[in-house]
Structure 1
Amino acid sequence: MSHVEVISREMIKPSSPTPQNLRNHKLSFLDQIAPPVYIPLIFFYHPELGYDIDRAQKSQLLKQSLSDTLTRFYPLSGRIKNEFCIDCNDAGVEYVEAHVHAQLSNVIENPNIEKLKQYLPIEPYGISAAMGREALLAIQINFFDCGGLAISLCISHNIADGPSLVTFTNAWAATARGAIENVTPSFDLAFHFPPRELSGFKPTTGITTEKIVTRRFVFDKMKLATLKDAASSATGSLVKDPTRVEAVSAFIWSHFIEVAKSKLAPKKAFVAIHAVNLRSRMNPPLPDHAMGNIWRIATALSMCEGEIGFGDLLSKLRSAIRKIDSDYVKDLQIGDGYLDFLKKRTENYSNGEVEFCSFSSWCRFPVYEVDYGWGKPAWVCTTTLPFKNVVILTSTSCGEGIEAWVNMLEDDMNRLECDHLLISLDAPKIND
């Protein structure tokens, strides 16, 4: 059992002041409609490499390199002024140091999913940066008894998506290890998606007050091969070359549907929502280091009449994802129909007639490249989410497997874990 003791809290500001002409950072339309929550990531590092660097040296190195990095990522040190812009006032990011009375190996070899939030600097879903009072980025450095480290970051979704967070983290790590080449981020998303008057639309967190539990299902290389073979040969499948993300997403969606069908309340339809990175789908494409909420959702619909097959769901999912192309982005840039779509989805969600499940794949994020000078991380993870039927997909440390972080109502999770197909794939749950 680990015990986390907070040692210090402070604000880290950019090492150079932000020029006056950059003080007002425009939020894009996509930033405006992002959920008012934080995105959490935790990076765990073994003590073996760089063990000769003591805690005080590491602390000073991380603080100074963070300050230097914030000069280039200046909006992260600001505060939200209103729904249209950020005041880049160099107020700083929250920086916490803590001592963990435990061995790192005990934490990552048998992780207790419910306890991971203790390594975060803030509760990512309990507060909002929307009112402009809180830092847009918060960081906690956790020093373990053995010399290992856990570095956690929580970034406001009002200004960044997952790729943006990883871009910043890799830039910070590169600065810390003294890398000569380093990324220059771009903050011009509002040029491509100008902010709009939202006409009464208010982004929601999606947080439920019902009891949600989180399970981590691990699919290694062999299990993924079995799953992809099953997907390509399944009845109704038009996809003969599924990606690992497509196969896992459709597989879990099919089990969500079975759980929903087993309940007394009938559903009219089942919808899978998959987050899609727009950077490479724009014309011309945006660079990987473009900052902001550069994503939208693909929506796959399955009606509840008759048998719903794995292959059919996979085909629907791929078709929906491929519709997020350059033409889709153009419509998103010039039309107002997307707000109507969001309002309609909210109505469908609230009336209970449609069963939604949401997927977000972080598998291509270069999280295992984040090296501060003492080696690459042993494990990178998120935490529990207070959202119903939400799945986060991440790569395993070797890069060949997938971890599926599944968040469901407690009773629904019990039904899911009894599913004979899930058991037959032997995808273990690890949480306590």
Structure 2
Amino acid sequence: MAIRHGTVLSSCDINSLVEITSRKTIKPSSPTPPHNRILNLSLVDQLMPSTLYGTILWFFPNHNASDFASKPSESTTRKSKRLQDSLSKTLVHFYPMAGQLKSPALVECNDEGAHFLEARVNCQLSDLLRQPNPELLDRLKALNDPETANVALGSTLLLVQISVFNCGGIVVAVSPSHKIADAASVLTFVQAWAAINRDDGALGQQLVPPEFIGGSLLPPRELSLPSIKGSLEIQSQSLVARRFVFDVSKVVSLKTKIGSVVQTFIPSTIQLVLAMILRCSIAASHQCKPESSIKPTVVSQMVSFRKRIIPEISENVMGNWFWTIPVLLKENETELHDLVSKMTQGVTEFRNEKASGFKGENGFLVVSESLRKSADIFNSNNIVNVYKTTSLCQLPLYEIDFGWEKPAWVTSLSVLKNIIVLVATKEQDGIEAWVTLDEKEMAIFESDQELLAFCSVNPSIGHSGLVQGFPRTMARI
């Protein structure tokens, strides 16, 4: 499968740009006590595939370029050594992330360690920020290193890669197994790591210790998963990942218009952006495959239920506290107001009727029933496409500071078919969307004038973190 691109760096051989210079195992700086050696995961964690890893990438320009130019090796070595030391100290508190997965619902906290890769990138960080290239971004993730994948995927629970550019800029890519962390958990871990690195190993007074209590809040159980007929995804020879940045001030103008149609609520900016992407994606699919226009589509939305459980689950509780909500869209339900209404209805019903039930022994019944209903949707309808969506817009990703000032850019992308990942821009005046589609569908999608009226295709990222060319407005997500 090829992931194509059309960026400044597209003429280069991406493989020659990135060189892995070291592969290490970082163990906790002190051993895990015997009473913490076994961790039972939650029922939701249990359902996660062992080879599924999520990655968030933080991009830090070098603000001391003159020092780096005079002694690049010394500067890089010093930062890398400090990151490794602080990671080791952080793993003392996040000890399961240094353990190994022994079964779908059990982690042995044996201090085997996290995989830590270092890489050199033979270009300037500004080259990447000028027009981000998905293939290059993929090479900055440890899970895409063949040697690491061969020895670590499916058992090791944390992969980290730091990539140093010719200018001294650094990208920190954190890839925990989805068996043990959702996006909020990833942020909790990185906040702690950054604080320890910044404070020369001292925890400080503001560091809230993580809690690994998922197995007690929602106990794992033997579960017979319902079967889903056929394949839900048409295999494609070539997928295209593209980045689109939506101007919030333009999207806001749609709220009143759509609200007057749906009447019962005013859609959020995130809902509208997602609905626009889906509408244009479905239209592109119908144009490429006319027969698909008479078949329904499914949108799977990832929805957090941390704050719906009573008492609510705080951000420092590790694990997965979200559920995937499938929404069936009939062939005549592709107008913007239809999409917004159907998706909002699905999320609202889940939050009001099901989310609080993901707890205790009753959680098993809620999970089982939710899985059965999802299987019914897929098995009783002739589905043509499944779009998977996730949003990180509400997370304070830009607050991370390892001691080199806050990042110029934070992103997360996946190259799976029909996946949409939303991330807020640094100033909260835009929503960045990574969209991966079939090549032919993407050619139609990225030329859609209705879409382009609200967004830019892969615009440059300024060192301040602002998207260049965007107006400084008061509109916020």
TM-score (norm 1): 0.89
Look up the match of 2:453.
424
**Which deviates further from its counterpart, 48-57 or 243-252?**
48-57
- When residues 230 and 114 of structure 1 are mapped into structure 2, their CA distance, relative to the original with a 3 A threshold, is farther
- The answer on whether the counterparts of 1:33 and 1:202 sit within 8 Å (CA) in structure 2 is no
- When residues 51 and 377 of structure 1 are mapped into structure 2, their CA distance, relative to the original with a 3 A threshold, is farther
| Aligned residue type for 2:396 | P
SS of residue matched to 2:54: strand
SS of residue matched to 1:372: coil
Look up the match of 1:222.
249
Counterpart CA distance in 1 for 2:378 and 2:144 is 25
* Equivalent residue for 2:267, pick from 242, 246, 251: 242
Give unpaired runs (5+ residues) of structure 2. Answer: 1-11, 69-74, 461-477
Counterpart CA distance in 1 for 2:433 and 2:149 is 26
Look up the match of 2:79.
58
Look up the match of 1:146.
167
Aligned length: 424
Q: Is 1:7 the counterpart of 2:60 in the alignment?
A: no
- The answer on whether the counterparts of 1:271 and 1:300 sit within 8 Å (CA) in structure 2 is yes
* Equivalent residue for 1:194, pick from 219, 222, 236: 219
Counterpart CA distance in 2 for 1:51 and 1:71 is 36
1:300 deviates by 2.8
TM-score (norm 2): 0.81
Look up the match of 2:430.
401
- When residues 4 and 126 of structure 1 are mapped into structure 2, their CA distance, relative to the original with a 3 A threshold, is closer
- When residues 167 and 202 of structure 1 are mapped into structure 2, their CA distance, relative to the original with a 3 A threshold, is farther
Look up the match of 1:44.
59
Look up the match of 1:264.
290
Counterpart CA distance in 1 for 2:210 and 2:127 is 37
| Aligned residue type for 1:96 | L
Counterpart CA distance in 2 for 1:144 and 1:13 is 26
SS of residue matched to 1:184: coil
* Equivalent residue for 2:342, pick from 302, 316, 320: 316
Look up the match of 2:469.
none
Counterpart CA distance in 1 for 2:324 and 2:455 is 30
1:50 deviates by 9.2
- The answer on whether the counterparts of 1:221 and 1:400 sit within 8 Å (CA) in structure 2 is yes
- The answer on whether the counterparts of 1:38 and 1:125 sit within 8 Å (CA) in structure 2 is no
1:73-84 residue pairs with structure 2 within 5 A? Answer: 73-84=94-105
* Equivalent residue for 1:338, pick from 365, 370, 378: 370
Counterpart CA distance in 2 for 1:85 and 1:144 is 38
- When residues 20 and 56 of structure 1 are mapped into structure 2, their CA distance, relative to the original with a 3 A threshold, is same
1:125-204 residue pairs with structure 2 within 5 A? Answer: 134-178=155-199, 180=204, 181-199=206-224
| Aligned residue type for 1:382 | S
* Equivalent residue for 2:323, pick from 296, 301, 304: 296
1:150 deviates by 0.7
SS of residue matched to 1:427: strand
Question: Would you tell me which structure has more helix in proportion to its own residues?
Answer: 2
What is the Cα-based RMSD across aligned positions, in Å?
2.9
Q: Is 1:382 the counterpart of 2:407 in the alignment?
A: no
Ranges of 4+ aligned residues in structure 1 off by more than 4 Å: 49-53, 124-133, 200-203, 205-209, 345-348
1:418 deviates by 3.1
- The answer on whether the counterparts of 1:37 and 1:129 sit within 8 Å (CA) in structure 2 is no
Q: Is 1:392 the counterpart of 2:421 in the alignment?
A: yes
Counterpart CA distance in 2 for 1:414 and 1:310 is 21
- The answer on whether the counterparts of 1:393 and 1:402 sit within 8 Å (CA) in structure 2 is yes
| Aligned residue type for 2:57 | I
Counterpart CA distance in 1 for 2:221 and 2:104 is 9
| Aligned residue type for 2:18 | V
1:428 deviates by 2.1
| Aligned residue type for 1:186 | E
SS of residue matched to 2:88: helix
**Which deviates further from its counterpart, 117-126 or 85-94?**
117-126
- When residues 86 and 12 of structure 1 are mapped into structure 2, their CA distance, relative to the original with a 3 A threshold, is same
Give unpaired runs (5+ residues) of structure 1. Answer: none
